[in-house]
Structures are given as structure tokens and as C-alpha cells.
Amino acid sequence: MIKRPFDLLNNLVGKKVEIGMKAGKIVRGKLLAFDIHMNLVVENPEIVEENSSKSATHIFIRGDSLIYVHPLQE
């Protein structure tokens, strides 16, 4: 059950998520870790920008850049 917002993030560790960032960047991949500043690490991220897309083995996203996180259907 979700009583506090961070309960959702806890539930999403190990799951595939979409992360919306400032300036329209989107990252999709498996959420590995987060902290109270909302810094995140995502595994096998697909990094999508307006006209391009790339991948990496991991990505560290600074919490300050983050707008939303939601689960992706697997």
C-alpha cells in the first residue's frame, strides 16, 4: 500500500520505469537505486531526446533534474 510518495519508488526498484526530466529528456530502463534527493540509477537506460535516442549500461540521474517517475508495462 502507498502511504507516502517514496513508497511507490520503493515498489519500483528492480522494475522498468520511465523517468521524465527537465528540458523534455526521457529515460526508460530498470530502476536500481534512489536516495532522498531523488538521485536515481537506472540499468540499461534508453535515453530519449527530441530528435535522438541512445543507450548505456547505467545512468546516474541527478534528482534536481527529475520531474516524474512511472512504471512501464512489462
Quote the least distance from Cβ 53 to a copy of itself, whole Å: 14
DSSP secondary structure of 3-60: SSHHHHHHHHTTSEEEEEEGGG-EEEEEEEEE-TT--EEEEEEEEEETTEEEE-SEEE
Quote the least distance from Cβ 74 to a copy of itself, whole Å: 11
Quote the least distance from Cβ 32 to a copy of itself, whole Å: 5
x-marked contacts with a copy of itself along 26-65 as a string, rule CB under 8 A: -x----xxxx--xxxx---x-x--------xxxxxxxxxx
Residues 6 or more apart from 5 whose CB is under 8 A from it?
Answer: none
Residues that bind a copy of itself (CB under 8 A): 2-9, 12, 18, 20-25, 27, 32-35, 38-41, 45, 47, 56-72
